[in-house]
Amino acid sequence: MISVEQALEQLFALVEPLESENVALTSANGRTLAKPVFAKRNQPPFAASAMDGYAIYKNDYQVGRTLQVIGESAAGARFEYKMLEGEAVRIFTGAPVPTGADWIVIQEDVDAIGRQITIRDTRESKSYIRPAGTDFEAGETLDAPQVLTPQLIALLASMNISNVNVTRKPEIAIISTGSELVMPGETPGDDQIIASNTFGLKAMLEANGANVRVLPIAHDTAPALRTAFALTYGADLILTIGGASVGDHDLVAGVTEELGMQRAFYKVAMRPGKPLMAGKLGKAAMIGLPGNPVSAMVCGQIFVLPVLRALLGLGKAPAPRQSATLANDMPPNGPRAHYMRAHVLDGVITSFERQDSALLSVLAKANALLLRPPHEDAKQAGEAVTFVPI
């Protein structure tokens, strides 16, 4: 059995970043920016007013001073002429500051009568002018790779970028194996259960940038499994769920071998998730996940998501970890790394009593996998521990 770290290293050796494609900015949220982007203009492109008020000369910003209002500058329609001292231009938020003006007096601080204003208050110490390029300047770079967020989409739009190069979405095919499985919504027979982790994994992977193909359930026969594998054509990553142990009905190892899989490893020293298999099947990477619902979901977080990020070009790194203070005592850990279902709130983490890898109701309450390295000593409440947020 190899360690989680060794398994990850071997998984990363199976994948390289996919090529990029050009998409409209309106379709780019959540995609991975593949090439750096350069701002095409300054923002704001001109000195702009940050408030509604009057553009004036700073010399005129004196209580009791009366100024002549000679025109207006609105957003999208500037005042074209140079202003002089003693003059004011009515101005609105986002409008270009007229040439000559170097101060905005807000409208609350003047008395306006006809075409004249008198400064009533000089409480402000800053000008309310946003100089050209204060947000960003032409040529400023947005680095790649990184996942595009709504904030970055807004910034890119402002930079006048309408299309971006993003990594192609990895195609992931999921094969659920087991004669006992039926699809959600079906009426199961007495000995059947509903395929569940299949849909949890699909959701997890789609939320992280993959296109996921859920293939028909393969019953525990070699022909059914071969048919399912034939449907994985074109996938960058093939996931099987279940059938990866060594029971009489566990056929994944045999069938993949027959199909020519170059196996990287089989079995990892972790809980849950020991019967994890990986290799290369044609051009695709393949990961054989254990069938137990929680095991499959935990392996999804610890192995499949990092592989997905590697395919997206986001680097080859383990699931990000954080630390928290333990709320409860824990006995020493055994020889396998344990990813305990836990709940973390305000930096304090509590591991759940029941850790059976079949309990989806417990996983559903968890927002963290508390990490216990192999052979770790007992831990007391108050000690620091690491966890993977989920």
Query: According to the binding rule CB under 6 A, does residue 192 interact with ligand AMP?
Result: no
Give the chain's length.
390
DSSP letters, 19-43, are: PEEEEEGGG-TTSEE-S-EE-SS-B
Cβ proximity of 215 and 231 under 8 Å = yes
Q: Which of ligand AMP, Mg ion, none sits in contact with 241, Cβ below 5 to 8 A by type?
A: ligand AMP
Q: In terms of CB distance, is 48 or 224 closer to ligand AMP?
A: 224
User: Among ligand AMP, Mg ion, none, what binds residue 288 when CB lies within 5 to 8 Å by partner kind?
Assistant: none
How many Å apart are CA 230 and CA 187, to the nearest integer? 27
Give the integer Cα–Cα distance in Å for 302 and 272.
11
Q: Is 193 in the site for ligand AMP (CB under 6 A)?
A: yes
Q: Could you say which of 44, 145, 209, 243 contacts Mg ion (CB under 5 A)?
A: 243
Residue corresponding to tokens 């919504």: 185
Shortest Å, Cβ 2 to ligand AMP: 19
Pair of tokens at residue 294: 């929680």
Q: Which residue has the tokens 């680097």?
A: 315
Sign of CA dihedral 22, 26, 31, 35: positive
Region of 308 on the Ramachandran plot (φ > 0 left; ψ -120 to 50 alpha; else beta) = alpha
Total Cβ atoms within 10 A of residue 325 = 14
Q: Is 196 in the site for ligand AMP (CB under 6 A)?
A: yes
Q: Which does 17 bind (CB under 5 to 8 A by kind): ligand AMP, Mg ion, none?
A: none
Task: Give the total of residues touching ligand AMP (CB under 6 A).
Answer: 18
288 sits near Mg ion (criterion: CB under 5 A): no
195 binds, among ligand AMP, Mg ion, none (CB under 5 to 8 A by kind): ligand AMP
Binding segment (CB under 6 A) for ligand AMP, from list 64-72, 291-299, 319-327, 343-351: 291-299
Residue 380 C-beta: closest distance to Mg ion, Å:
39
Residue 178 binds Mg ion, judged by CB under 5 A:
yes
Task: Annotate each residue in 221-250 with x if it binds ligand AMP (CB under 6 A) or - if it does not, as one string.
Answer: --------------------xxxxx-----
- In the shown chain, the binding pattern of residues 198 to 217 toward ligand AMP, with x for contact by CB under 6 A and - for none, equals x-------------------
The structure tokens listed for 134 are 């204060």
Helix and strand counts by DSSP (H, E) for the chain: 8, 28
Stretch that binds ligand AMP, among 117-125, 126-134, 193-201, 221-229 (CB under 6 A): 193-201
DSSP code string of 323-353: EEEESS-BPPP-SSEEEEEEEEETTEEEE-S
Q: How far is the CB of 231 from ligand AMP (least distance, A)?
A: 16
CB distance 178 to 244 below 8 Å: no
State in angstroms the smallest separation of the CB of 341 from ligand AMP: 17
CB of 143 or CB of 191, closer to Mg ion: 191
Give the DSSP per-residue string, 168-236.
Answer: PPPEEEEEEB-TTEE-TTS---TT-EE--HHHHHHHHHHTTT-EEEEPPPBPSSHHHHHHHHHTTTT-S
- The reply on whether position 180 binds ligand AMP by CB under 6 A is yes
Record the tokens describing residue 239, joined without a space. Answer: 């996931």
d(CA 316, CA 333): 28
Q: Which two tokens stand for residue 186?
A: 């079906």
Q: Which of 44, 53, 96, 242 binds Mg ion (CB under 5 A)?
A: 242
**Binding segment for ligand AMP among 41-49, 120-128, 194-202, 368-376 (CB under 6 A)?**
194-202
209: contact with Mg ion by CB under 5 A: no
Contacting residue, 181, 224, 307, 342, with ligand AMP by CB under 6 A? 181
Chain centroid to CA 370: how far?
A: 21
Instruction: Kindly state the smallest distance separating residue 251's Cβ from ligand AMP, in Å.
Output: 9
Q: Does 167 bind ligand AMP (CB under 6 A)?
A: no
Tokens encoding 33 = 């920016």
Cβ atoms of residues 104 and 129 within 8 Å? yes
> Pick from ligand AMP, Mg ion, none: which does 196 bind, CB < 5 to 8 A by kind?
ligand AMP
Residue placing its CB nearer to ligand AMP in the complex, 54 or 339: 339
Residues that bind ligand AMP (CB under 6 A): 176, 178, 180-181, 193, 195-198, 241-245, 290-293
